[in-house]
Structure 1
Amino acid sequence: MRAFEVVDADGERVRVTAGSDPELFWALRGGGGDFALITSIELNLFETPHLYGGQIVWPADRTGEVFDAFRSITAGAPRELPVWINRTAPPPPSVAEPYLLHLLGLRLPHLAEAVRGRQAALVARLGGAVSGRKPYTFLAPGGSAAQAFPADTLARLRRIKRERDPGHVFRANFPVPGRTS
């Protein structure tokens, strides 16, 4: 991100950059929709000699082996390497940066025990690499921003919210100041 054009809580149009307003710039880069109405985003582009993309699919019976290989390869990979792994089979879990585990599943009572067992096995296999947090964009009804951010990050987002929008003009689906009615 290079810059954001926003409308702030006072209704003012503002250009926000890392130099002009470091705290708001930081919050806008992933803190949810609680800080301003973003009307435009300016991105940096980087020249690259090679670009690779695509999907590799493995059979379900190789899940453990594939997860192990993924963890081994990404452990020393540069942060600039955007890779992720998905295991798509009901229920479809996904592992995202760096090893955030979010499990989705059908809420069918007759499958609940089996699903919980399968989820527990996946979590155990990933060991200490799993944080227990969810990506903010994966939060579901009833969730809170506290499930997505570490405590120090959430505290910083809450401080920025109090400073920039004390009247709660902006309310994200999962507001950083906690539930408001």
Structure 2
Amino acid sequence: MTAESDPELFWALRGGGGDFAVVTALELEPYPASAPYGGRVIWPEHRSREVYDAFLEITAEAPRELSVWINRLQPPGAPPMVTLDLAYLGAAAQGEGLLVRIDRIEGAISDNRGVVPVADLGAIAAEPTDPVPSITRAELLTGLDADAVELLLAKPVEPLINLQIRHLGGALAEAGGGAGASGAVAEPYLLGLLGLGLPHAADATRARQAEVVADLKARISGRKPYTVLSPGDTAAKSFSGGTLARLREIKRARDPHNVFRANYPVLGQTGSPPLGKTHRCE
């Protein structure tokens, strides 16, 4: 299947979720690129304001080749810390020049910046690859300024493990033009909140996530990318009314028996019109 052979289904599969088909193979076109420059820099918690100030300065003028995430971390059993995760698609010397502001922050615990093979880009954020009982929540931010930083730093991260801000833009902001259901992401920042999902910690995790979102309410857009929806959200959070209506029509036409099921179905999780009798394997 291609955009030419089945334009409607191809459009839906590009950002519309898993309600429509099972993808069994992909053909990818490689693009030439130099080895990126990047890494993670870690400071103790008391450097958080300085690191946030640098984050705001860097992301205000960052070229599309530069990605920057800031994390307030509270690892279980370890002291709190603040980190910057960095990746620049270009020569190391250029990346160093764009990030020189970081070098003025003293007291780094660790700094592993350098040339990063493309295959190792995912290791920059040092996230676990094994399943972890966790609860996540994400929100798109319409902006980030000094007042928002005050709110983010006013309270401890605990009982969360990570309070993260990702700078967006670049290709995400340009993904319109009808190429796929996901559309463009105009918001410049993504807030991510991660905490333990163990029975003794789940309620506190959800409460702290809700508290952070309430503190930043004036800057939260109310929509979010489909890939960061979490329990309690619906697909309507991710799509405009017109896009959602189009996805629903494709679902009804292509899968009337609801064989393919996404975690966040375009027809809704409750109260949706029935598609028809569901097939079940015995």
Match of 1:43 in 2: 28
Cα deviations by residue, 1:46-65 (Å, 9 ceiling, x for unpaired): 10134223223343344455
1:94 aligns with 2:79: no
Structure 2 gaps, min length 5? 75-157, 169-187, 196-200, 275-282
Partner residue in 1 for 2:105: none
Corresponding residue number in structure 2 for 1:173: 263
Is the aligned partner of 1:31 residue 2:16? yes
**8 Å CA contact retained: 1:145, 1:176:** yes
2:223 maps to 133
Determine the structure 2 residue equivalent to 1:159.
Answer: 249
Matches within 5 A, 1:2-151: 15=1, 17-79=2-64, 81-89=66-74, 90=158, 91=160, 92-96=162-166, 97=168, 98-105=188-195, 106-108=201-203, 112=207, 116-121=210-215, 123=216, 128=219, 130-151=220-241
Distance 1:175 1:44, change over 3 A: same
Per the TM alignment, residue 152 of structure 1 is displaced from its structure 2 partner at its CA by 4.2
Report the Cα distance in structure 1 between the residues aligned to 2:222 and 2:47, rounded to whole angstroms. 24
Q: Please report the RMSD computed on the Cα atoms of aligned residues, expressed in angstroms.
A: 3.4
- Which is worse superposed, 131-140 or 162-171? 131-140
If the length of structure 1 is used for normalisation, what is the TM-score? 0.65
TM-score (norm 2): 0.46
Aligned-pair identity in percent equals 55
In the alignment, the residues of structure 2 paired with residue 110 and residue 73 of structure 1 have an alpha-carbon distance, to the nearest angstrom, of: 30
- State the distance in 2 between where 1:140 and 1:110 align: 14
Rounded to whole Å, the distance in 1 between the matches of 2:69 and 2:60 is: 12
Deviation at 1:178, TM superposition (A): 0.7
**Secondary structure of 2:25's partner?**
strand
Unaligned runs of 5+ in 1: 1-14
Whole-angstrom distance in 1 between the partners of 2:16 and 2:245: 11
Q: C-alpha deviations, 1:17-71, integer Å up to 9, x for none?
A: 2333333223222221101011112222110134223223343344455445434
Alpha-carbon separation, structure 2, partners of 1:78 and 1:22 = 33
Give the strand-richer structure, 1 or 2.
2
What SS is found at the alignment partner of 2:26?
strand
CA distance in 2, matches of 1:173, 1:116: 22
CA spacing shift, 1:67–1:169, aligned 2, 3 Å? farther
- Which residue identity lines up with residue 70 of structure 1 in the other structure? F
Give, as a single letter, the amino acid of the residue that structure 1 aligns with 2:165.
Answer: V
Say which SS state the counterpart of residue 31 (structure 1) adopts: coil
* Structure 2 contact 193–209 (Cα < 8 Å) conserved: no
Runs ≥4 residues deviating over 6 A: none
Residues 170/136 of structure 1: CA separation in 2 closer, same or farther (3 Å cut)? same
